[in-house]
Structure 1
Amino acid sequence: MSRLSFERYCAEIIAQTDLLATSIKDADMSVPVPSCPGWNVGQLVRHLGGGQRWVETIARTRATEPPSDTNFRDLSACANEDPEALVPWLVECGAGLEEALREIGPDAEVWTPLPGHRSRFFARRFAHETLVHRADAELALGIEFTAATDVLLDAVDEWLELLALPQMFEFHPGMRELLGPGRTLHFHATDTPEEAGAEWVVDLTGELIQWRSAHEKAAVAVRAPLADLLLVLYRRRPARSAGVEVIGDAELLDFWLERVGFG
């Protein structure tokens, strides 16, 4: 269940895009992005903006099949981007997506990569897609990544929801290797009030991946400030890094992180 409204997701697409634009406006676009191997900052921005325009097309045309995504997957032609052109282009991409989603509303029937086929899926997905790729760029450029607590909480929820979908075993068969007796993980944000519900348990002991918001003992626990915890979950920050505490079966955590990923 989403913590944020459709309108808030649309607003966050704009907000996160604008924050990214501000972070890169005077930056060297050729700086490599360690969390997206093979890309530099300019290529990362082209990927994100291209994805936003791809979803805008889906929304505006009420597409029932996915349009081609080659333009934001093959980034070999985008190695030498000019920030003076790239930054306003990115802002336009975010604004176009937000406008298209608001026009059709949360319940429009459109193609989505997962069951449901409603436009609300893309509003949430691209609010957090933009958030995480902003983090990629800022980490590469040495800028501290921060975000509103409610946005970070929902980003963790959404990521775990996606990973727990049975369809993920079809897309990533290696994820089945995660399942096994005694395999539980507890993620705990250390800088949020108790009422925020910033604790999550991932249960790998059954036939499917399951997760819940809960304070429970587990085979391994990871404790960190919320923004850092999100980055660990998305494999943007090593679990063995300053401010992150790992208690218990660290090999299980490594095993989990090796088999989940975000492009």
Structure 2
Amino acid sequence: MTSLPHNRYCDEIAHQIGLLRAVVTSGADLSATVPTCPDWSLEQLVRHTGGALRWVELTVRTRAEEEVPEEQVPGFTGPEGEGDAAALDAWLAETGGMIVGTLREAGPDAKVWGWAGVLNAGFWARRMTHEITIHRADATLAAGLPYEVSPDIAADAIDEWLEIVEWAQRTLPDDPARELCRPGSSIHLHATDSTPELNAEWSIDLDQDVVAWRRGHEKATVALRGPLTAVLLAFYRRLPLDSPELEVLGERELLEFWLERARFG
């Protein structure tokens, strides 16, 4: 599946960091538990996200040929002390400038280590776009704030997630994704606000050891329908299937089977 242009990802990373900073400075309780990541507080979530961006920035800037240890990343854990929204915001701002500048300078084809067999900076631009897009959803849920995402980014996030599931099935022998095989079964994702240009529908076949998927409208064992943002969040296990904006048609148990196992690491 064709991904978005490299500069589109760079622009979106900058945009998402700005939106995450707005959550941090909104007056939200930084010690609040994140409902979708209950092991983390809002501040821990933000530090995790910023640390990941700094780790990728160093990986790309140095054209690393192997995984970089976290302890080698300057500023990885964020500012000293806890509960200081201004310091956290300043750290995120600096982080954003670093990662976006490094990715733009590198371009999509610069050779660099990657964990999914895609050894270029373009992989990291796309991966970090969706990393921060989904974690910003986590942050807004913790802060009680609304969440929106551009349709092209939401659709590409679903594409990338399906590609990651494929990679995990092929590569990680102990990953729960290896269990995603059910002969004669299929899943359909249908964004009710899709346009012909976007084509935000997906068909996923579970017939073989590795899932096969494609964009388009097809009948399936179970279908998940709703606005694209809601479908995205449900597919990433950030929104319950019982949410009023969603509709599940067919064998709901199959969709639950997928959501329980479609993960990696």
- Give me the TM-score of the superposition, normalised by structure 2: 0.92
**Which residue of structure 1 aligns with residue 112 of structure 2?**
110
Pair 156,216 (structure 1): closer, same or farther in 2 beyond 3 Å: same
Stretches of structure 1 lacking an aligned partner (at least 5 in a row): none
Matches of 1:232 and 1:171, distance apart in 2: 26
State whether residues 169 and 210 of structure 2, in contact with CA within 8 Å, keep that contact through their aligned partners in structure 1.
Answer: no
Moved more, 135-144 or 187-196: 187-196
1:52 aligns with 2:53: yes
1:29 aligns with 2:30: yes
Aligned residues: CA RMSD: 2.2
State whether residues 166 and 208 of structure 1, in contact with CA within 8 Å, keep that contact through their aligned partners in structure 2.
Answer: no
1:61 aligns with 2:44: no
**Which residue of structure 2 aligns with residue 129 of structure 1?**
131
**Which residue of structure 2 aligns with residue 5 of structure 1?**
5
**Which residue of structure 1 aligns with residue 18 of structure 2?**
18
Matches of 1:142 and 1:125, distance apart in 2: 26
Matches of 1:227 and 1:56, distance apart in 2: 28
Pair 213,53 (structure 1): closer, same or farther in 2 beyond 3 Å: same
Matches of 1:38 and 1:87, distance apart in 2: 22
**Which residue of structure 2 aligns with residue 229 of structure 1?**
231
Q: Spell out, residue by residue over 1:132-155, the C-alpha distance to the aligned partner (whole angstroms, 9 max, x if none).
A: 111110011111110111111111
Matches of 1:78 and 1:247, distance apart in 2: 49
Of 119, 122, 141, which aligns to 1:120?
A: 122
**Which residue of structure 1 aligns with residue 148 of structure 2?**
146
Matches of 2:110 and 2:218, distance apart in 1: 39
Matches of 2:163 and 2:98, distance apart in 1: 27
Question: SS at the partner of 1:155?
Answer: helix
Instruction: State the Cα distance separating 1:176 from its structure 2 match.
Output: 2.1
Instruction: State the Cα distance separating 1:82 from its structure 2 match.
Output: 1.3
The letter for the 1-side match of 2:148 is: T
Instruction: State the Cα distance separating 1:95 from its structure 2 match.
Output: 1.5
Q: Spell out, residue by residue over 1:179-223, the C-alpha distance to the aligned partner (whole angstroms, 9 max, x if none).
A: 021221000001122332110011111121111101000000000
State whether residues 177 and 264 of structure 2, in contact with CA within 8 Å, keep that contact through their aligned partners in structure 1.
Answer: no
Pair 132,79 (structure 1): closer, same or farther in 2 beyond 3 Å: farther
State whether residues 235 and 261 of structure 1, in contact with CA within 8 Å, keep that contact through their aligned partners in structure 2.
Answer: no
State whether residues 185 and 203 of structure 1, in contact with CA within 8 Å, keep that contact through their aligned partners in structure 2.
Answer: yes
Moved beyond 6 Å, runs of 4+: none
Pair 92,262 (structure 1): closer, same or farther in 2 beyond 3 Å: farther
Pair 70,187 (structure 1): closer, same or farther in 2 beyond 3 Å: farther
Q: Spell out, residue by residue over 1:30-61, the C-alpha distance to the aligned partner (whole angstroms, 9 max, x if none).
A: 01101112101100000000000000111111
**Which residue of structure 1 aligns with residue 258 of structure 2?**
256
Matches of 2:71 and 2:29, distance apart in 1: 25
Question: SS at the partner of 1:194?
Answer: coil
Identical residues among aligned pairs (%): 46
Of 176, 180, 192, which aligns to 1:190?
A: 192
Q: Spell out, residue by residue over 1:108-165, the C-alpha distance to the aligned partner (whole angstroms, 9 max, x if none).
A: 1111011121110000000111111111100111111101111111111111111122
Question: SS at the partner of 2:120?
Answer: coil
Matches of 2:49 and 2:39, distance apart in 1: 15
State whether residues 234 and 262 of structure 1, in contact with CA within 8 Å, keep that contact through their aligned partners in structure 2.
Answer: no
Stretches of structure 2 lacking an aligned partner (at least 5 in a row): none
Instruction: State the Cα distance separating 1:172 from its structure 2 match.
Output: 4.5
Instruction: State the Cα distance separating 1:80 from its structure 2 match.
Output: 3.4
Pair 80,166 (structure 1): closer, same or farther in 2 beyond 3 Å: closer
Matches of 1:34 and 1:129, distance apart in 2: 17
State whether residues 201 and 211 of structure 1, in contact with CA within 8 Å, keep that contact through their aligned partners in structure 2.
Answer: yes
Of 78, 85, 88, which aligns to 1:86?
A: 88
